[in-house]
Structure 1
């Protein structure tokens, strides 16, 4: 959770040392253990250091390699150090930082080096011989990397706020991103809320020279990859081994480690597997410190029973954080400063409260269960697969098991999970034409919330748009799994959490987003992901005798929607009234103001549904962010253009 910054003037002018220092200082909150810059000619790097691993205690960045002249700045944890040490003929001990492994990998493999690295990383290397800059981001997009590129210069940073200290970098609202945000269809991973500020997306590298730039995807999941083993036991054992290794390599720390524990299958699996690993004589994990949010006033979402089952079984040191009475907008100015742009989750304030507790307990590393749903898979579309392949016996078995697990009638499940998905597109379209307009708007037309003039002004075509029709071609369970793994929400969630925890000097790590676990889970047969009506089947079986039974075979998990829906209205109705009951010229530019006012009336009276209540949150946050964070003069210029 360190920070990196950089400047490369492609037109050859020299960097002013004050500029890179100004960029670096803007990210001082991310590195309490040191700040350093390097500059030479037209290139400059910066780094804010937060020590996490034992090797980082000896690390100093930016680093200049005397032998090759290569210069690196990096926010990285490399997990395959042992294998790399053999391939690169270098020592693997606490005196060798991870950044040196990256430098040596670049020496050996050049621009192919990220393919050979495992772990979480974002780095930039200046190659003086080639007079080029090489940047890369890890396979799953855990470490953030933002940049601005023009003919004259290239500027990058861990957070966008550092870029805006440079006069060459524009500061202008990206209205296409606003539209996609309001439609909840953020499928373009590189876009930000600022024009010409881009995100280097997961598994990408970027090569920049004076006259050329090349963006490449160095890794992607093979959609056709299959792993066929001889027995269920082999699949289960292999999953368990890979999962254990994914956790083991993320336990490398020079500081106390914390575990997020929600009581769900994924976070509980991480905690219990870590406890199992700690029994090994070579493990340096002595304490299992868990942090859990509990909701005494919301029994419908409270997970205390499952949390206690795990902490008792693991003999953990539990921190139970009461989170009932926290407004979704608590400390929103600070949260928006760190986040830099609107976000989807209304649970940010309660997450901040949990990370604050971790900091008070001197936690610097936290492991969580994020990514379990996407990596292991719920086996979506498996019932349809069985129907189309006429495997009737299996289909009946799975429908029966599924019905018992979710307590839904067999007939309703057949309609929902088999018949409707198999209905031809032209019949679905006909149905949508004859249903009531409002129902159609809320369920299918993602543009219904937008101001029609705004849609026309950005020349955005709502129907059949490539931004949000990608999942309509999905037919099989394997295709659904591929889509879930590559979903932008994974990268966006990790970027969001990275910015939350930066305030508290904590580094988040995600065992379920280990590349090896992702590749294995995707390639195994769907029957190992969904069996006897149970989703996540292979994970449940792999955690046998490790996870408490009541957690291992939980049929469903709980969601926080009732908490934010009640607390937003309870604590912040004055703000909501200002936004939705007055003539809000700023929001009016982007949303159908009459429709959103109607949604507010429904929400305020307790008649709102999940769809309308969700839009209340999105529009509220957008309004607050526009007022707090955007250059109003430039927004006014946009409005004048429309007028």
Structure 2
């Protein structure tokens, strides 16, 4: 709910009031309900507060407990408040008014550095333990809130955003070549595998699931949480699995509705956001509050060019959900005249680093702005649902059927295929060869004489720069392959998705900084650690049975979502299909800048210019709508973003 910052001098060096003032002034670009600081001897804490929850109104931050000799500054919303109050034996008369920062402090007094293990929610905080002369802090398990830091032999400084740290005279603004090499070399959406690094040399970040301890001049990072599931949940029927899920997920949704303002939500025509919206609208009705939904739709002038199984304008399905659920004020935003190209500089300024989700930036930012204008303080989404509540894609279904094939479970396979063929209007003669190839891929290659080399995403990075930074050796150590997959199969990829922390950073960076700019919090119930652990413990067949991909969420939402949405197997919503349409008027400027990039001395060290020129040649000079799905388009847009970032540093 805040931007926080602080400085700790190790050897009782006097704090410079000009430096601490400048540190806080850098937050003035964001709205604030209150700004306070606290300092004592060699420690300074600051908070640029935005009031989101009822308890945060008028909350004293930083807060100093004179009895316990503890001070805290925090950017946090804690979702398991009732559980913590019970465990800490807090009197019921105080529970409604205690802000989350003071609850964290009570928990620290009880559990010490074990405290983040007991917290559920989105948080980043720092605590000054005066008795122990120790600074301790933590970031939530998925890194939903950011926390950056700098340290040298005599001091430690931290901040929610990076720019305030550069107001300190001893911190230089230099690019981190190792981070940049990872950004350029990784084909997928991951920015870097080193979760402590940032785009700037000497600026670090506390990784997701980590705490930091600053004591006696030493800075130590410790991972406090891993998502591991032992035995699978074993219940007696599908109905029991579905009921157990609804209980866990409903708690995740309702615990995120706590605000003194209005509640909004992203809403597409799919399963994840639809499930979030359905439960949220029902819970809010009990409080006499309405849920506001925000949906991105293409410009009116856009002509749909996509295959028939895609739908860029999801209003038909969205309105089905809205009408079925009720208690929803729905908004459809097309952002006429907006383009991701014209927003690059603004989003670089907001993110403070290069980014890869080029196609989405203008409407993500636009929805946050519109929600802010309508008084929204909590903005829900279902962004991480694909790996939790709606796991079970077509590929996973095929892998499951292949396992049945290999295990000679013919009766079960026949039943599943019958259902699959009915749902997807196909035949066994089509499906069995696909399943056989997945079951015995080596035999298939031998008999088909298939020696085709697997496709690789065009590499942006200059080979000499890659060699200098040894980036490919590093990626190999982290298990990132040329396709961006984190394992040999989907189940292994999913497991690694939760164990490898580098997949989390990009979304936490965007949501934290968007929330600060627009004074609202993005909150994702599909990312609740209780929900993730439950879904990971479900037997695999729960996700693919009945001939349905994403089977579990479809069954669990019966009556919650309309059947037109819940049982939709044939049409998939696709966002960003109008990207080239929006860029068409600026296409020549876009390509001219790429040409400039290819000859600019400041970038020749970093980019493989041949790959860029080949990408230009393949796309040609005239825009075509299907370019948005071309890897060459991704190569050029990512290169442009990095180019602008580097130029802005010089």
Q: Compute the TM-score of the two structures, normalised by the length of structure 1.
A: 0.89
More displaced 10-residue stretch of structure 1: 580-589 or 547-556:
580-589
Aligned partners of 1:447 and 1:461: how far apart in 2? 14
Following superposition, the deviation at residue 472 of structure 1 comes to 6.7
Indicate which of 174, 177, 193 corresponds to 1:175: 177
Please tell me whether the aligned partners of residues 486 and 496 of structure 2 are also in contact (alpha carbons under 8 angstroms).
no
Please tell me whether the aligned partners of residues 449 and 595 of structure 1 are also in contact (alpha carbons under 8 angstroms).
yes
Aligned partners of 1:473 and 1:256: how far apart in 2? 39
Following superposition, the deviation at residue 216 of structure 1 comes to 1.4
Please tell me whether the aligned partners of residues 403 and 439 of structure 2 are also in contact (alpha carbons under 8 angstroms).
no
Residues 101-120 of structure 1 aligned to structure 2 (within 5 Å): 101-120=103-122
Structure 1 residues 194 and 95: CA distance shift in structure 2, 3 A: same
Q: Which residue of 2 aligns with 1:200?
A: 206
Please tell me whether the aligned partners of residues 458 and 611 of structure 2 are also in contact (alpha carbons under 8 angstroms).
no
Aligned partners of 2:618 and 2:374: how far apart in 1? 42
Following superposition, the deviation at residue 53 of structure 1 comes to 0.6
Aligned partners of 2:475 and 2:366: how far apart in 1? 41
Please tell me whether the aligned partners of residues 31 and 518 of structure 2 are also in contact (alpha carbons under 8 angstroms).
no
Aligned partners of 2:69 and 2:386: how far apart in 1? 44
Structure 1 residues 337 and 449: CA distance shift in structure 2, 3 A: closer
Aligned-residue RMSD, C-alpha: 2.8
Query: CA offsets per residue over residues 313-362 of structure 1, 9 Å max, x none?
Result: 22421111124642112333222111101111121012212222112211
3-state SS in 1 of match to 2:376: coil
Query: CA offsets per residue over residues 609-628 of structure 1, 9 Å max, x none?
Result: 62111111111111112112
Please tell me whether the aligned partners of residues 458 and 631 of structure 2 are also in contact (alpha carbons under 8 angstroms).
no
Following superposition, the deviation at residue 518 of structure 1 comes to 0.7
Q: Which residue of 2 aligns with 1:190?
A: 196
Q: Which residue of 2 aligns with 1:595?
A: 611
Following superposition, the deviation at residue 396 of structure 1 comes to 4.3
Please tell me whether the aligned partners of residues 159 and 165 of structure 2 are also in contact (alpha carbons under 8 angstroms).
yes
Aligned partners of 2:361 and 2:449: how far apart in 1? 38
Indicate which of 276, 292, 295 corresponds to 2:295: 292
Q: Which residue of 2 aligns with 1:80?
A: 80
Paired residues, what number? Answer: 619
Query: CA offsets per residue over residues 525-567 of structure 1, 9 Å max, x none?
Result: 0111222232332222221111111111222532224222343
More displaced 10-residue stretch of structure 1: 526-535 or 334-343:
526-535
Structure 1 residues 119 and 587: CA distance shift in structure 2, 3 A: same
Q: Which residue of 2 aligns with 1:306?
A: 317
Following superposition, the deviation at residue 399 of structure 1 comes to 4.8
Structure 1 residues 422 and 28: CA distance shift in structure 2, 3 A: farther
Please tell me whether the aligned partners of residues 177 and 191 of structure 1 are also in contact (alpha carbons under 8 angstroms).
yes
Aligned partners of 1:81 and 1:335: how far apart in 2? 35
Q: Which residue of 1 aligns with 2:328?
A: 316
Q: Determine whether 1:394 maps to 2:394.
A: no
Structure 1 residues 616 and 81: CA distance shift in structure 2, 3 A: same
Indicate which of 445, 452, 460 corresponds to 1:449: 460
Query: CA offsets per residue over residues 186-220 of structure 1, 9 Å max, x none?
Result: 33333321123222122111111124332211111
Q: Determine whether 1:359 maps to 2:359.
A: no
Structure 1 residues 22 and 413: CA distance shift in structure 2, 3 A: farther
Please tell me whether the aligned partners of residues 406 and 439 of structure 2 are also in contact (alpha carbons under 8 angstroms).
no
Q: Which residue of 2 aligns with 1:540?
A: 554
Gaps of 5+ in 2: 305-310
Structure 1 residues 418 and 192: CA distance shift in structure 2, 3 A: farther
Indicate which of 529, 552, 559 corresponds to 2:543: 529
Indicate which of 350, 353, 361 corresponds to 1:338: 350
Following superposition, the deviation at residue 63 of structure 1 comes to 0.4
Aligned partners of 1:435 and 1:290: how far apart in 2? 47
Following superposition, the deviation at residue 412 of structure 1 comes to 6.7
Residues 143-292 of structure 1 aligned to structure 2 (within 5 Å): 143-182=145-184, 183-184=186-187, 185=190, 186-279=192-285, 283-284=286-287, 286-292=289-295
Q: Which residue of 2 aligns with 1:574?
A: 589
Q: Determine whether 1:42 maps to 2:58.
A: no
Indicate which of 500, 525, 535 corresponds to 1:511: 525
Aligned partners of 1:60 and 1:354: how far apart in 2? 31
Please tell me whether the aligned partners of residues 20 and 44 of structure 1 are also in contact (alpha carbons under 8 angstroms).
yes
Structure 1 residues 467 and 259: CA distance shift in structure 2, 3 A: same
Aligned partners of 1:149 and 1:424: how far apart in 2? 52
Q: Determine whether 1:328 maps to 2:331.
A: no
Structure 1 residues 413 and 475: CA distance shift in structure 2, 3 A: farther
Please tell me whether the aligned partners of residues 375 and 485 of structure 1 are also in contact (alpha carbons under 8 angstroms).
no
Please tell me whether the aligned partners of residues 154 and 217 of structure 2 are also in contact (alpha carbons under 8 angstroms).
no
Aligned partners of 1:416 and 1:172: how far apart in 2? 51
Following superposition, the deviation at residue 251 of structure 1 comes to 0.7
Q: Which residue of 1 aligns with 2:132?
A: 130
More displaced 10-residue stretch of structure 1: 32-41 or 160-169:
160-169
Aligned partners of 1:211 and 1:539: how far apart in 2? 50
Aligned partners of 2:135 and 2:250: how far apart in 1? 36
Q: Which residue of 1 aligns with 2:632?
A: 612
Aligned partners of 1:540 and 1:52: how far apart in 2? 33
Please tell me whether the aligned partners of residues 594 and 636 of structure 2 are also in contact (alpha carbons under 8 angstroms).
no
Aligned partners of 1:142 and 1:415: how far apart in 2? 43
3-state SS in 1 of match to 2:555: helix
Residues 46-65 of structure 1 aligned to structure 2 (within 5 Å): 46-65=46-65
Structure 1 residues 240 and 588: CA distance shift in structure 2, 3 A: same
Please tell me whether the aligned partners of residues 239 and 538 of structure 1 are also in contact (alpha carbons under 8 angstroms).
no
Aligned partners of 1:256 and 1:501: how far apart in 2? 15
Please tell me whether the aligned partners of residues 64 and 70 of structure 1 are also in contact (alpha carbons under 8 angstroms).
yes
Please tell me whether the aligned partners of residues 7 and 158 of structure 2 are also in contact (alpha carbons under 8 angstroms).
yes
Structure 1 residues 477 and 576: CA distance shift in structure 2, 3 A: closer
Aligned partners of 1:94 and 1:129: how far apart in 2? 29
Gaps of 5+ in 1: 633-643
Structure 1 residues 163 and 411: CA distance shift in structure 2, 3 A: farther
More displaced 10-residue stretch of structure 1: 6-15 or 197-206:
6-15
More displaced 10-residue stretch of structure 1: 104-113 or 401-410:
401-410
Q: Which residue of 1 aligns with 2:308?
A: none
Please tell me whether the aligned partners of residues 196 and 205 of structure 2 are also in contact (alpha carbons under 8 angstroms).
yes
Structure 1 residues 172 and 425: CA distance shift in structure 2, 3 A: farther
Structure 1 residues 334 and 423: CA distance shift in structure 2, 3 A: same
Please tell me whether the aligned partners of residues 268 and 310 of structure 1 are also in contact (alpha carbons under 8 angstroms).
yes
